[in-house]
Amino acid sequence: MEYKMSEVLYQKIREDLKAKITQGFYSQGSKLPSETKLQAYYQVSRVTLRNAVDGLVKEGFIERVQGKGSFIRKPHKVNRLIRESSVESFTKVAHANGLEPSFEILKIDQVNCPKQFQGKIGKSIMLYIQRLCKVDGDPIMWENNYYVLPRFEQLSNYNLEGSIYSILQKHFGIKNLYSDDTTLSMSPSNLKNSKILNRTIGFPLFKLETIVRDENKDIVHAGIHYIVSDRYQFKI
Q: How confident is the model at residue 236 (pLDDT cuts 50, 70, 90)?
A: low
Tell me how many degrees the CA angle 225-14-46 measures, rounded to the nearest 5.
140
Average pLDDT over residues 58-69: 84
pTM: 0.68
- Hey, what CATH class is 78-235 in? alpha beta
For 131-180, the pLDDT digits (tens) are: 999 987 788 899 999 999 999 999 999 999 999 999 999 999 999 999 88
User: Does 2-72 match 78-235 in CATH topology?
Assistant: no
Nearest CA to 142 out of 196, 221, 222 is that of 196
What architecture (CATH level 2) is domain 2-72?
Orthogonal Bundle (1.10)
* Rounded-to-integer distance, Cα 60 and Cα 25, Å: 17
10-14, 37-41, 165-169, 174-178: least confidently modelled range: 10-14
Bridge-partner residues for 111, per DSSP? 126
Q: What is residue 92's predicted lDDT score, i.e. its pLDDT? A: 81
* Rounded-to-integer distance, Cα 68 and Cα 64, Å: 8
Q: Is the pLDDT of residue 81 over 70?
A: no
Q: Phi and psi for 103 in degrees, rounded to 5?
A: -135, 140
Strands (E), 84-200: 101-112, 125-135, 138-148, 177-188
| Domain boundaries defined on the chain | 2-72, 78-235
